[in-house]
A = this chain, B = another copy of it.
Amino acid sequence: MITWNNLDTLASYKKLFEVEKVNLAEAMSGENGAERVRKYSVPMAEGLAYNFAAKQVDDKVLDGLKELAEEAQLTEKFEALYNGEVINTGEKRLVLHHLTRGQLGNTVEADGVDKRAFYVEQQRKIAEFAQKVHKGEITNGAGEKFTTVVQIGIGGSDLGPRAMYLALENWAKKNNAFKMEARFISNVDPDDAAAVLYGIDVAHSIFILVSKSGTTLETLTNESFVKDALSREGLDPSKHMIAVTSETSPLAKSDDYLAAFFMDDYIGGRYSSTSAVGGAVLSLAFGPEVFSQFLEGAAAEDKTALNEDVLENPAMLDALIGVYERNVLKYPSTAVLPYSQALSRFPAHLQQLDMESNGKSVNRFGQPVDYVTGPLIFGEPGTNGQHSFYQLLHQGTDIVPLQFIGFRHNQMDTDVVIQESTSQQKLCANVAAQIMAFACGKADENLNKNFEGGRPSSIIIGDQVNPRSLGALLAHFENKVMFQGFLWNLNSFDQEGVQLGKVLAKRVLAHETDGALKVYSDLLNI
Contact = CB atoms under 8 A, between A and B. Distances in A.
Among A159, A340, A459, A508, residue most surrounded by chain B Cβ atoms (within 10 Å): A508
A423 B361 contact: no
Interface string A194-210: 11001000000000000
Nearest to A398: B332
Contacts of A432: 504-505, 508, 517, 520-521, 524, 526
Interface residues of A, number: 157
B461 A360 contact: no
Interface in A104-141: none
B387 A509 contact: no
Given A332-B333, A367-B447, A53 B189 contact: no
B436 A187 contact: no
Contact of A447 (B366, B389, B436, B505): B366
Interface in A420-435: 420-435
Contacts of A332: 332-333, 398
A355 interface: yes
Given A37-B516, A517-B433, A355 B191 contact: no
Interface string A369-391: 10111101110111110111111
Please list the 4 inter-chain residue pairs (A to B) with the smallest Cβ-Cβ separation, ordered nearest first.
A359-B392, A155-B387, A33-B516, A433-B504
A131 to B, nearest CB: 26
Nearest to A406: B524
A507 B524 CA distance: 55
Nearest to A379: B378
Contacts of A491: 448
Given A333-B376, A398-B372, A412-B195, A189 B524 contact: no
A515 interface: yes
A394 interface: yes
A143 interface: no
A427 to B, nearest CB: 5
B525 A392 contact: no
Interface string A393-410: 111111010000010101
Nearest to A459: B520
A497 B391 contact: yes
A158 B515 CA distance: 43
A450 B510 CA distance: 24
Contact of A515 (B29, B191, B389): B29
Contacts of A499: 449
B374 A392 contact: yes
5 contacts: A189-B381, A355-B396, A356-B388, A395-B497, A419-B509
A355 B389 CA distance: 5
Contacts of A451: 497, 500
Interface string A128-168: 00000000000000000000000000111011000000000
B90 A341 contact: no
Interface in A173-219: 173, 186-195, 198, 217-218
Contact of A217 (B54, B348, B426): B426
Contacts of A384: 154-155, 158-159, 186-187
Given A228-B416, A374-B397, A433-B503, 7 more contacts: A191-B340, A217-B426, A351-B388, A359-B392, A359-B393, A373-B397, A433-B504
Interface in A278-324: none
Among A51, A53, A155, A191, residue most surrounded by chain B Cβ atoms (within 10 Å): A191
Contacts of A373: 396-397
Contacts of A509: 419-421, 425-426, 429
Contacts of A521: 428-429, 432
